[in-house]
């Protein structure tokens, strides 16, 4: 028993664990589905202020228009329904009046015949034929016949004159019996075919019989009889047809007090039971408007009684009778909503644009600020008070940031200048000592011309090195400084190597940092051709060219294709004409100064670390130790940006190529001041704005 209970408990625990696992799995699946739905919804959510405002205004406008449209539709539909009912009632009222006038005229004929003729005549000696004919002729358009019968059914007189059918029992006729049933009233029959007389003129004539009991006198003795006035049914039919011209499904028909149909526009269909009519119930309705469902269709019934007869004029308005007008109204309301919606979208777009435009302009200013392509005064300030305040605050912040950055640049420049001065203080004495030693050697050897040449080159070298304390000089002066340096070094190395300068003439007018070529030439001599045998024909080639942006000589990775032949047939950089270098366009390009030697070269690991200024970097262990190259590389990046600097390519026993990459900036007093103060970004923005305005 204990084992059984333990198994049961174990099964219960397992069941609970399975339920919990299923619940956890269901929750995980549900959360995943909810996350997917949220991700899909997030794609359709507006992402800008303008779109958010536009969507919000549009939704509110559409909701209001929809509510207004539904209210208008309901109001107009109710009014149209009531208007249709009122119009039908007016038609019925007028028709009832016309029909009552007609029936009254028939009653007057009956009264004239009775009170003016029959009551004043003694049938034994007087004839009523002439008077009856006169009355008939006066009203024959609305009459079929006038006739007078004795109580036993004997014909006394008829107009027009005719004989009764021999097999006809007058006393069995409905109009005859009804007259005696209600002797004090006039009786109007339902439409029927005239079948009393033999005269063919009466054959198949539809009539409504007006019968009444009259008092006859014969030989002074009173007796009873029946006066029959057969009205022409076509007159009533024409009246009813004139008011049954509606094509929407509504119709008007006529019944007696018991519901027997006197006229119906669909009489044939009713007779053949194609359709049914609720005439019995309708006839018992009180005068007014009634709602009913007949044949599965909702409809409204309007009832109006006709005096003297008990007849009922009944109008039937099925639901579809309103549908055409309501459908037209529905279309009109939808059209109005659509037009209103389009107008509201246009207005909402204008409003959202007006609200969001200042924010978009401010956002554009922020994006330009992120890219570093904007001055504080270019930041948008306008719009509402809040946006204007944001713009002013942002403008002030950017101005402060720029000021701090300028301070940092100046501080770093001073630091680099100090480093450079320290470097020059180390290099110049050694270089000067060796050069002066060479000059002394020339003088002692009575090589006066060579000594004069060396002194001239040395003086020019130091003159350019000083440059009145300026760090920015024309490329022309930098190249002259390099030539002076190489002329001195060639003498010192006894012309063991050859030096070639290939400088594009137009490049000389651009600005550059002072003393960036000389350390590279020193590197080419010390690590390249300086220790080569004269028979190895060592050579250093210095090339300088301007390359506009988008030039085909660029490689896909942004490196310059030095193996491409230029227009003048030389290796290296493309040439441009002076006409292409106006002050707005030249800053849209670059200057490449290439120093190439065919010396010993360097292994890849040394070449890779040559520009690395971190401690412990592996460099060639010779005179310069590569400090000059690192200094040049850092100075260029600090002055012009990270995309500029040096590039070193070298292969052992093949030689080394070092390329200086700087932006093309025309050398003039304004640009020199800006570059000296570290504001190359200002020059770049000015050039970009000028190029944009030209395009």
DSSP 218-232: ETTEEEEEEEEEEEE
What's the confidence (pLDDT) of residue 303?
A: 95
Model confidence over 381-432: pLDDT tens digits? Answer: 877 777 778 778 877 787 788 788 777 777 776 766 666 565 554 456 667 7
Angle (CA) 502 505 511, round 5°:
100
Is-contact 384 361, C-beta < 8 A? no
The band of 224, judged by pLDDT with boundaries at 50, 70 and 90, is very high
What's the confidence (pLDDT) of residue 43?
A: 59
The band of 561, judged by pLDDT with boundaries at 50, 70 and 90, is very low
Model confidence over 158-182: pLDDT tens digits? Answer: 888 788 888 888 998 999 999 988 8
Q: Helix and strand tally (H, E) in the chain?
A: 16, 18
Give the closest residue to 53 by CA, choosing from 450, 489, 350: 350
Calculate mean pLDDT across residues 471-484. 90
The band of 581, judged by pLDDT with boundaries at 50, 70 and 90, is very low
Give me the CATH topology for the region 398-694.
Heat Shock Protein 90 (3.30.565)
The band of 147, judged by pLDDT with boundaries at 50, 70 and 90, is very high
Residue 615 Cα distances to 126, 325, 618, 619, 627, angstroms: 159, 94, 9, 11, 12
What's the confidence (pLDDT) of residue 626?
A: 52
The band of 361, judged by pLDDT with boundaries at 50, 70 and 90, is confident
> 321 — phi, psi (to 5°)?
-65, -25
Calculate mean pLDDT across residues 118-147. 87
CA distance 317 to 98: 22
Is-contact 618 630, C-beta < 8 A? no
Calculate mean pLDDT across residues 246-266. 89
Q: Is the pLDDT confidence value at 84 over 90?
A: no
What SS3 string covers 240-273? HHHCCCCCCCCEEEEECCCCCEEECCCHHHHHCC
Q: Where are the domains of the chain?
A: 121-236, 398-694
What's the confidence (pLDDT) of residue 377?
A: 73
More confident residue, 181 or 622: 181
Residue 167 Cα distances to 80, 175, 225, 226, 491, angstroms: 58, 18, 20, 19, 166
SS3 79: helix
Considering the four listed CATH numbers 3.40.50.12780, 3.40.50.300, 3.20.20.70, 3.30.450.20, the one that applies to the domain covering 121-236 is 3.30.450.20
Q: Is the pLDDT confidence value at 199 over 90?
A: no
What's the confidence (pLDDT) of residue 585?
A: 41
CA distance 356 to 315: 62
Calculate mean pLDDT across residues 47-53. 72
CA distance 521 to 629: 10
Calculate mean pLDDT across residues 645-656. 90
What's the confidence (pLDDT) of residue 583?
A: 43
Q: Is the dihedral of CA 339, 343, 346, 349 positive or negative?
A: negative
Calculate mean pLDDT across residues 652-659. 90
The band of 568, judged by pLDDT with boundaries at 50, 70 and 90, is very low
Cβ neighbour number for residue 340 with a 10 Å cutoff = 17
Least confident piece of the model among 26-30, 127-131, 285-289: 26-30
Cβ neighbour number for residue 445 with a 10 Å cutoff = 10
CA distance 158 to 113: 12
Q: Is the pLDDT confidence value at 692 over 60?
A: no
Element of type H or E holding 524:
helix 518-524
């Amino acid at each position: 028993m204990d084992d059984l209970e333990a198994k049961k408990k174990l099964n219960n625990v397992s069941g609970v664990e399975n339920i919990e696992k299923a619940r956890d799995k269901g929750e995980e699946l549900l959360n995943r589905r909810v996350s997917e739905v949220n991700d899909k919804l997030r794609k359709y959510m507006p992402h800008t202020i303008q779109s958010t405002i536009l969507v919000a205004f549009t939704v509110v406008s559409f909701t209001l228009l929809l509510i207004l449209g539904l209210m208008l539709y309901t109001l107009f539909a109710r009014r149209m329904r009531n208007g249709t009912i009122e119009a039908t009632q007016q038609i019925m009222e007028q028709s009832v009046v016309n029909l009552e006038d007609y029936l009254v005229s028939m009653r007057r004929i009956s009264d004239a015949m009775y009170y003016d003729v029959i009551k004043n005549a003694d049938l034994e000696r007087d004839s009523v034929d002439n008077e009856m004919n006169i009355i008939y002729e006066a009203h024959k358009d609305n009459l079929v016949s006038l006739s007078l019968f004795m109580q036993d059914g004997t014909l006394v007189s008829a107009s027009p004159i005719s004989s009764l059918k021999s097999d006809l029992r007058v006393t069995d006729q409905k109009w005859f019996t009804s007259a005696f049933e209600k002797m004090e009233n006039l009786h109007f029959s339902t439409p029927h075919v005239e079948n009393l007389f033999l005269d063919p003129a009466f054959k198949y004539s539809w009539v409504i019989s007006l019968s009444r009991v009259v008092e006859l006198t014969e030989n002074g003795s009173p007796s009873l009889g029946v006066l029959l006035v057969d009205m022409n049914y076509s007159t009533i039919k024409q009246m009813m047809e004139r008011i049954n011209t509606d094509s929407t499904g509504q119709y008007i028909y006529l019944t007696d007090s018991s519901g027997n149909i006197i006229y119906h526009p669909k009489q044939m269909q009713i007779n053949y039971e194609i359709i049914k009519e609720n005439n019995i119930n309708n006839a018992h309705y009180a005068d007014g408007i009634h709602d009913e469902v007949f044949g599965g269709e909702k409809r409204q019934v309007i009832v109006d009684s006709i005096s003297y007869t008990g007849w009922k004029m009944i109008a039937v308005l099925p639901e579809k009778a309103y549908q055409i007008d309501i459908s037209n109204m529905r279309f009109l309301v939808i059209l109005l909503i659509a037009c209103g919606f389009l107008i509201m979208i246009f207005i909402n777009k204008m409003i959202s644009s007006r609200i969001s435009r200042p924010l978009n302009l401010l956002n554009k200013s922020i994006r330009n600020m992120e890219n570093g392509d904007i001055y504080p005064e270019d930041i948008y300030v306008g719009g509402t008070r809040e946006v204007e305040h944001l713009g002013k605050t942002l403008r002030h912040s950017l101005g402060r940031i720029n000021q701090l950055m300028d301070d940092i640049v100046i501080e770093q420049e001073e630091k680099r200048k100090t480093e450079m001065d320290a470097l020059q203080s180390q290099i110049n004495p050694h270089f000067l000592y060796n050069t002066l030693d060479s000059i002394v050697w020339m003088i002692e050897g009575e090589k006066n011309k060579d000594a004069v040449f060396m002194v001239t080159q040395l003086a020019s070298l130091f003159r350019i090195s000083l440059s009145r304390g300026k760090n920015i000089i024309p490329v022309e002066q930098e190249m002259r400084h390099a030539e002076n340096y190489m002329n001195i070094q060639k003498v010192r190395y006894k012309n063991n190597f050859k030096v070639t300068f290939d400088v594009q003439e137009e490049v000389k007018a651009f600005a550059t940092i002072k003393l960036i070529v000389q350390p590279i030439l020193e590197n080419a001599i010390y690590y390249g051709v300086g220790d080569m045998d004269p028979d190895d024909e060592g050579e250093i080639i210095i090339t300088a060219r301007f390359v506009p942006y988008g030039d085909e000589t660029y490689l896909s990775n942004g490196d310059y294709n030095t193996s491409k032949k230029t227009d003048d047939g030389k290796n290296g950089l493309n040439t441009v004409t002076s006409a292409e270098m106006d002050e707005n366009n030249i800053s849209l390009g670059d200057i490449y100064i290439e120093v190439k030697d065919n010396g010993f070269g360097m292994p890849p690991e040394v070449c890779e670390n040559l520009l690395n200024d971190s401690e412990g970097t592996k460099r060639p262990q010779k005179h310069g130790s590569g400090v000059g190259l690192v200094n040049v590389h850092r100075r260029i990046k600090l002055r012009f940006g990270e995309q500029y600097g040096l590039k070193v390519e070298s292969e052992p026993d093949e030689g080394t190529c070092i390329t200086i990459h700087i932006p093309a900036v025309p050398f003039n007093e304004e640009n020199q001041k800006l570059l000296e103060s570290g504001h190359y970004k200002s020059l770049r923005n000015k050039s970009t704005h000028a190029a944009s305005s030209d395009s």
